[in-house]
Amino acid sequence: MLNKIKRWKNQSSSSELRERMLKIQELQIPSHIAIIMDGNGRWAKKRALPRIAGHHEGMKVVRKITRLANQVGVKALTLYAFSTENWKRPKLEVEYLMKLPEEFLGSFLPELVEENVKVIMMGDKEMLPSHTRNAIERAMEDTKDNTGLILNFALNYGSRSEIIEGIKEVLKDCKNGIIDENELNEDIFSSYLMTKGLNDPDLLIRTSGEIRLSNFMLWQLAYTEFWFTDVLWPDFAEDHFIEAIEVFQNRQRRFGGV
C-alpha cells in the first residue's frame, strides 16, 4: 500500500514541476475543475493514425491528470468524455468511445479505490450500452464511500437537455406541492441539475484551440474562469495543468462585485 502511495506521489517527472506543484499549493487551488478534452482526432490525423488512436492516447492523459489533480488537492474534476451530440460520429468511433470507460476503469479502478477517489457520472445513463453502464456503475459502487477527489465523468451529457429535464422536475414538484414556485431560487434550481451536491466549477479548461462551450455545463459555468490552450488533449501534460492553475491563481474573481 505504501509503495503505491509513493508511486502516486512521486510520479511528477521533473524537480521544476514539483516546485511549481508546491507553489500552487500555497495559494487557493480551484476546488472544482472541468475539462473539455478536445483534439484527439486531430492528434491522430497529424500522425496518420485512425481517430480512435487519439482517443486511446487521450484516455492515458485522463489517468495522468486525475492523479495530478488528486495530488495537488483539487476536490472535483469533471471530464467531458462524450456529449449527447457525439452519437452522430461514425459507428466504429462511437463503439470505441463506449469501450474506453471499461478499459480505463478495468486497469485504474483499484488505484482510484486506494487513493480515496470517488467516481461519479453525469449524463443519460439509459442510452449507454450495458457494458459501459456496468463499468461506470461498478466504479461508482466501489468508490461510493471514498471522501477524496470526486472524478465526475460527463458521459452522454448535454447541458440544454439537463436544464430542460430540471425544469420538468421543478414543474412536477410545484404541482405536487413539494416546492413553492415563489420560493424557487438559483440554489434550489441547481439541486435539480445533474451536478447536485457539487460546487460550480472554478476553472474550465478546453484544449485544442477551440473557444466554445459545446453544450457543456451552461448553468454551472456562469462565474467560472476559462482557460483555453492550443495543445491537443493527447499532448496535454502535467505542466499544462499546473499552468492553468497558475493562471487561475492570478485572476481576480469578482462574481459581479467590484
Separate counts of helices (H) and strands (E) for the chain: 9, 6
Any contact of residue 39 with ligand FPP (CB under 6 A)? yes
Has 133 been labeled as part of a binding site?
A: no
Has 42 been labeled as part of a binding site?
A: yes
| 89: number of Cβ within 10 Å | 15
Catalytic residue among 3, 10, 70, 86: 86
Q: Which stretch binds ligand FPP (CB under 6 A): 11-19, 22-30, 40-48, 116-124?
A: 40-48
Residue 169: all three cell numbers together = 422536475
CB nearer ligand FPP, residue 111 or residue 246: 111
152 is catalytic: no
User: How are strands ordered across the β-sheet holding 32-36?
Assistant: 118-122, 150-157, 76-83, 32-36, 203-206, 225-228
Chosen residue from 12, 20, 33, 41 binding ligand FPP by CB under 6 A: 41
Contact 47, 232 (CB under 8 A): no
**Taking CB under 6 A as the criterion, which residues in 89-148 touch ligand FPP?**
97, 100-101, 104
Contact 152, 120 (CB under 8 A): yes
Has 130 been labeled as part of a binding site?
A: no
Has 51 been labeled as part of a binding site?
A: yes
DSSP E strands, 99-224: 118-122, 150-157, 203-206
CB nearer ligand FPP, residue 93 or residue 173: 93
Has 256 been labeled as part of a binding site?
A: no
Rg (CA), the chain: 19
**Distance set, CA 238 to CA 11, 153, 177, 214 (Å):** 10, 20, 50, 24
Q: Which stretch binds ligand FPP (CB under 6 A): 21-29, 57-65, 182-190, 249-257?
A: 57-65
230 is catalytic: no
Residues making contact with ligand FPP (CB under 6 A) = 37-42, 55, 58-59, 62, 81, 86, 97, 100-101, 104, 153, 208, 233
Residue ranges for the known binding site for Mg(2+) are 38, 225
| Residues carrying an active site annotation | 38, 86
